Chain A
Amino acid sequence: MDRRSFLTANAAVAVGASLTSIAQVASAAARPAPVDFKTNLPAPGVFPDRWICGSSSCMDNTDPPVQVHWYNEHTAILRQNKAYSYEAPFAPLYFGNDRVLLLDEGFTQLRNEWDLRGVVDECIDQWCGRNGRDPASLELLVAFSHLHGDHYLAVNQFADRPNTRYMGQTHEEMVGFWGMTHFPEERVTLDLGGRDILIWGSPGHVVSEFAYYDSYSQILYTGDMFYRGRCYISFWEPWFESMKRLIAFCDTHPVAHVMGCHVEISKDGQDYPYGMTWQPDEAPVQMTVQQLRDAFEMAKTITEPGIYFTGTVFLCNQTRGTTTIDRNPYRY
């Protein structure tokens, strides 16, 4: 909350309830009808055939720092350019009638290196233009999937943004941001204004990780705990429990797509080793519920640390981060 809205809010309380209600009526009259996020579900949407995926020479990359893809009219998916950071995380931006949720902020810190805040502001402006809203009236929630640098590094760009709340970078602050008291089992509902986001704990890759389910597009966002690439599982037992929770959720809720934070695998299942900045034949970021179930079935058989390929993802059970199955091609 910026200084101006803080003062106006307190002034409104001081003036009294009668005036407040009149103000609300007045603003409601100026406001167009709210977007309906509850019927005709799941809201249809499309993923692009091909995301920007780096280039053979990084300094000759001419793609924008962030690719903005509108999955549907009320959902944008952002992807960082591989030539800006090899991690190239995907970041959904969910719009509701009252607030906007940004999940993940990429792996580059400074606004003069990549203007993530500018990109997000432009998305909000576009959405508001389409829906006849005032961008200043929308609250922005800047959250992230888990406590790793490639998912929160640009948070500081939003520090002085008006009408914005951002997640803190400790486990307690993250859990507190969603008002959870029983992490990871507790499932909370975030109301973006007619659009519910279900959030629960999904530890395993790291301790502090969440799964996010958007009830409108029905995309299940699984962060780094399950994504199209090498899922580095630091803690097997909590990860397996998190998988059980995901499967149980899919049993009771309709899920259109499962989506992770990265893609590190080609369309034909070839591994792109850690740190690659060019993935010309990248697999799609979205996965099906069946692929999640298959991975879970395979996970049931895993008892030893190691790297296992499920056909969709690599389960790197307690191997150290950045290790891959790649070999020295010049062995003889």
Chain B
Amino acid sequence: MPQSPISAASPPSVSTRTYPNGNPELQYNPPGVRNTDSAIPLHPKAPVMHHYDCEGPAPGDLAFRWIFGSSVAATNRDPRVQVVQYNEDSFVLRQNVCVHWEAPFTYLLFGNKGALLIDSGATDNAQHYPLRATVDAIITRWSQMRGRSKVPLTVALTSGEDVAQNQGLVQFAGRPDTVIVPRPLEVMKRFYGLGNSWPSGTGRIDLGDRVIEVIPTPGTHKDGVTFYDPYCDFLFTGDLLFPGRINIGNDKDFLASLERLKAFAATRPVKWILGGHIDMMFVPGKYYRRFVNYKPYERVLELPPAIIDEVIESTREVLGKETMLIQPEYVLFNGVSPDQRTRVWPQGVPNITPPFHF
């Protein structure tokens, strides 16, 4: 009986073999991911408490590609809110590019005592952008799995004045068990306990064993703040620092905030910086202009923490000048129109023209 070439071959050695479905020899919870509750009771009788202490950043990944619009925006049929689960307690939501070109990212984090929604999207109309319904559904599902009857929600913004992030807030008006961080700068400072220590102090939002720190980072917006999540080791920087066109509101504040952020990041582990948008393409220094509904060559969202040093250096270059500066991972606009263009190309960066789709 002829043997198939596959069974005729000698079996691969144990050390080089790959396990697409997981190596059965390994423990269920390898070191480092010990504290994820990948096995929770099917019908919890009592609230399931989660241990948010872990060695290093909590595991998770952003494995999906972001939805990127379509060449004809009117016929787009992608979900209006794309939900990507980073891990059991952290969700990343993205607005469809064809609902609003800003396509902001919104983050939903859970702790033992409550949830935090960071930012609220660029569209107020719940028919066009059902953020509240999506968040409610995620919270309901999460609370069923964790045996909670209710999950208090805090809605906070990386900037209250940014219309690309504050429009969805109206959808949460009147929602039970919800605290919306008040918006005028002075009231917001008091809410975070920063009335006397803005911008040098840090505030706290306690989600229950997961304490989100609030770092004042004005610069692109007067009332900008950055959130630090000690569980996933993320900095949520909103409009301050993201892979895109950074429109500086006040360059001195911007530099001071970055330096404060750098000092903060030096004392905490930081895995990624997650901003509020993506404008860059996946070739260095090239970006989508405003109002684009089709971004097939988008860069990934996450930035390494080392980028803070680079941005500080670039900011020193543009400080006090009305100019724009292209860098591989971001573009700074200081005091110029957001539609400004330049022929200055950064030295040593390959100038690659990405394909253009009609």
Binding site for B on A (CB under 8 A): 56-61, 63, 65, 81, 83-86, 107-109, 113-114, 149, 153, 273-277, 320, 322-328, 330-332
Give chain B nearest CB distance to A293 CB in angstroms. Answer: 29
Q: Does B314 contact A (CB under 8 A)?
A: no
Give chain A nearest CB distance to B188 CB in angstroms. Answer: 16
Of the residues B96, B335, B337, contact of A59 by C-beta under 8 Å: B96
Of the residues A56, A65, A81, A108, contact of B71 by C-beta under 8 Å: A108
Residues in A whose Cβ lies below 8 Å from that of B101? 275, 277
Mask for B293-314, Cβ within 8 A of A = 1, else 0?
A: 1000000000000000000000
Please tell me if the beta carbons of A83 and B74 are within 8 angstroms of each other in the complex.
Answer: yes
Mask for B333-352, Cβ within 8 A of A = 1, else 0?
A: 10111111100000000000
Per DSSP, chain A at the interface is loop
Q: How far is the CA of A63 from the CA of B73 in the complex (A)?
A: 12
Residues in A whose Cβ lies below 8 Å from that of B123? 56-57
Residues in B whose Cβ lies below 8 Å from that of A326? 337-339
Please tell me if the beta carbons of B73 and A83 are within 8 angstroms of each other in the complex.
Answer: yes
Please tell me if the beta carbons of B358 and A107 are within 8 angstroms of each other in the complex.
Answer: yes
Mask for B221-256, Cβ within 8 A of A = 1, else 0?
A: 110000000000000000000000001111000000
Please tell me if the beta carbons of B289 and A331 are within 8 angstroms of each other in the complex.
Answer: no
Q: Closest residue of chain B to A273, judged by CB?
A: B339
Please tell me if the beta carbons of A328 and B76 are within 8 angstroms of each other in the complex.
Answer: no
Q: Does B290 contact A (CB under 8 A)?
A: yes
Residues in A whose Cβ lies below 8 Å from that of B340? 323
Please tell me if the beta carbons of A57 and B339 are within 8 angstroms of each other in the complex.
Answer: no
Please tell me if the beta carbons of A330 and B99 are within 8 angstroms of each other in the complex.
Answer: no
Please tell me if the beta carbons of A60 and B127 are within 8 angstroms of each other in the complex.
Answer: yes
Please tell me if the beta carbons of A323 and B341 are within 8 angstroms of each other in the complex.
Answer: yes
Please tell me if the beta carbons of A328 and B129 are within 8 angstroms of each other in the complex.
Answer: no
Give chain A nearest CB distance to B281 CB in angstroms. Answer: 16
Q: How far is the CA of A108 from the CA of B294 in the complex (A)?
A: 13
**What are 27 of the A-B contact pairs (CB < 8 Å)?**
A56-B125, A56-B128, A57-B100, A57-B123, A57-B129, A58-B74, A59-B75, A60-B128, A61-B73, A84-B72, A84-B74, A107-B358, A108-B71, A113-B72, A273-B291, A275-B101, A275-B292, A276-B291, A322-B341, A325-B337, A326-B338, A327-B338, A328-B248, A328-B336, A330-B247, A332-B249, A332-B250
Q: Which bucket holds chain B's interface residue count?
A: 35 or more
Of the residues A81, A149, A320, A330, contact of B221 by C-beta under 8 Å: A330
Q: Closest residue of chain A to B220, judged by CB?
A: A330
Please tell me if the beta carbons of B291 and A330 are within 8 angstroms of each other in the complex.
Answer: no
* Sample of 8 more A-B contacts, CB < 8 Å, known A56-B123, A114-B72: A56-B125, A58-B99, A59-B77, A59-B99, A60-B127, A61-B73, A65-B74, A326-B339
Residues in A whose Cβ lies below 8 Å from that of B99? 57-60
Q: How far is the CA of A320 from the CA of B333 in the complex (A)?
A: 17
Q: How far is the CA of A267 from the CA of B336 in the complex (A)?
A: 26
Q: Does B119 contact A (CB under 8 A)?
A: no
Residues in A whose Cβ lies below 8 Å from that of B96? 59
Q: How far is the CA of A76 from the CA of B75 in the complex (A)?
A: 26
Please tell me if the beta carbons of A58 and B73 are within 8 angstroms of each other in the complex.
Answer: yes
Q: Closest residue of chain A to B239, judged by CB?
A: A330
Residues in B whose Cβ lies below 8 Å from that of A330? 161-162, 220-222, 247, 249
Chain B CB within 10 Å, residue with most, of A84, A109, A331: A331
Residues in B whose Cβ lies below 8 Å from that of A81? 74
Please report which residues of chain B, range 103-157, place their CB below 8 angstroms from some CB of chain A when the two chains form the complex. 123, 125, 127-129
Q: Does B98 contact A (CB under 8 A)?
A: yes
Q: How far is the CA of A60 from the CA of B123 in the complex (A)?
A: 12
Q: How far is the CA of A83 from the CA of B127 in the complex (A)?
A: 18
Q: How far is the CA of A58 from the CA of B77 in the complex (A)?
A: 11
Please tell me if the beta carbons of A277 and B291 are within 8 angstroms of each other in the complex.
Answer: yes
Please tell me if the beta carbons of B73 and A328 are within 8 angstroms of each other in the complex.
Answer: no
Q: How far is the CA of A52 from the CA of B100 in the complex (A)?
A: 19
Q: How far is the CA of A84 from the CA of B69 in the complex (A)?
A: 12
Q: How far is the CA of A108 from the CA of B73 in the complex (A)?
A: 11
Please tell me if the beta carbons of A327 and B337 are within 8 angstroms of each other in the complex.
Answer: yes
Give chain A nearest CB distance to B161 CB in angstroms. Answer: 7
Q: Closest residue of chain A to B288, judged by CB?
A: A275
Residues in A whose Cβ lies below 8 Å from that of B247? 328, 330
Residues in B whose Cβ lies below 8 Å from that of A56? 123, 125, 128
Please tell me if the beta carbons of B76 and A58 are within 8 angstroms of each other in the complex.
Answer: yes
Q: Closest residue of chain B to A327, judged by CB?
A: B337
Please tell me if the beta carbons of A84 and B73 are within 8 angstroms of each other in the complex.
Answer: yes
Please tell me if the beta carbons of A332 and B337 are within 8 angstroms of each other in the complex.
Answer: no
Residues in A whose Cβ lies below 8 Å from that of B80? 59
Please tell me if the beta carbons of B100 and A328 are within 8 angstroms of each other in the complex.
Answer: no
Mask for B68-97, Cβ within 8 A of A = 1, else 0?
A: 000111111100100000000000000010
Q: How far is the CA of A176 from the CA of B326 in the complex (A)?
A: 43
Please tell me if the beta carbons of A59 and B125 are within 8 angstroms of each other in the complex.
Answer: no
Q: How far is the CA of A175 from the CA of B163 in the complex (A)?
A: 48
Please tell me if the beta carbons of B339 and A274 are within 8 angstroms of each other in the complex.
Answer: yes
Chain B CB within 10 Å, residue with most, of A60, A84, A275, A277: A60
Residues in B whose Cβ lies below 8 Å from that of A65? 74
Give chain B nearest CB distance to A198 CB in angstroms. Answer: 32
Residues in B whose Cβ lies below 8 Å from that of A332? 222, 249-250
Please tell me if the beta carbons of A57 and B337 are within 8 angstroms of each other in the complex.
Answer: no
Q: Closest residue of chain A to B76, judged by CB?
A: A59
Q: Closest residue of chain A to B357, judged by CB?
A: A109
Please tell me if the beta carbons of A331 and B249 are within 8 angstroms of each other in the complex.
Answer: yes
Q: How far is the CA of A85 from the CA of B357 in the complex (A)?
A: 13
